Amino acid sequence: MKVLILSPLPEGVIRSLFAANLTKYKIEAHFVTINEYNLDALKRELADADIVVGDYTFRIPITAEMCDAMNKVKLIQQPSTGYDHIDIRACAKKGIPVANIGGANAISVAEHTLTLALVLLKHITYAHQKLLEGIWTQAELLNVATELSGKTWGLVGLGRIGREVAERAKSLGAEVIYFDVKRLPEDEENKLSYSFRQLQRLLSEADVVSIHVPLTLETEHMIGEKELRMMRSTSIFINPSRGELTDEAAVAKALREGWIGGAGVDVFSKEPPDETNPLMSAAQEGLNIVLTPHLAGATSDARMRIIQVTVENVLRVMLGQKPQNVVNL
């Protein structure tokens, strides 16, 4: 079987990851790697590929045109949670399953989400910077910094990551409310102590709002000026999912005009962001915003789980079994 690898990994590393299992199951396979977006070269390699492992850096998209070149592909395995650089509709039309890594990085993203919220609630970045400038802000922040305990955490999206965030927020004493297109059964809500809210009501009630949904045509810019104006002036907004889920200019405006109390952002519409990104300007103005370089799920622990899930799913298909974590069929 031919496995085409689009992620920037050395071929020796790739072979070593599969070697033991290929020997164990007596599978004959060879691996081809392409690390640059060259459409003609990609189409040639895709023509006889059996399995495609996508690019975790998102530099190489899988388009409908590339999908048309796939004559034998039985699986596109994306080694990340996000898959918005893959035309999953075109793949589905051709009967090609696209799989992600499920919840392999859910713990890392959840911890990062909680960290951003706590840093913002307690104004840690501001206090740190002022202390380096020789300014003691204890009295200034005494009545400004707040606890998470007793607050309401609103989750937009209750998938694997959303649930990990919910459990951690609960453990710190927060009440959890959520919005999802698929509401939980009432008995499960009662068991978990989560309360369902429509999106508008959630935004108006929550002290912290975090968004955990995939980027699709339906979710692009789902949080814009209208939604941000529904939030409280003291509320915190966290986006560890995809930059395009929000109107970045509206988030910056919300901070400047005091519609919200703070924002934590790990993802951007263009990565890395440049100086024209309105969130970068907001941070440089000293507003209560914390920016991180798309590293919520990028821990060494998560990376090992991602590799494991990727290898196991590819092997399942090599053995004639159905892949797991399919997102398009």
* Catalytic positions: 242, 271, 294
Kindly report the backbone phi and psi dihedral angles of residue 221, in degrees, each rounded to the nearest multiple of 5, phi listed first: 55, 35
**Are 264 and 237 contacting, i.e. CB atoms less than 8 angstroms apart?**
yes
d(CA 283, CA 279): 6
Query: Closest by alpha carbon to 194, among 220, 173, 160, 166?
Result: 166
Amino acid letter for position 81 = T
Burial 217-234 (b: 16+ CB within 10 A, else e): eebeebbbeebbebbbee
Cis amide prior to 278 (ω within 30 degrees):
no
Amino acid letter for position 69 = A
Number of residues that make up the chain: 329
Segments in the chain forming alpha helices (H): 11-24, 39-46, 64-68, 88-93, 106-121, 124-132, 138-141, 160-171, 186-192, 199-205, 225-228, 248-256, 278-284, 300-318
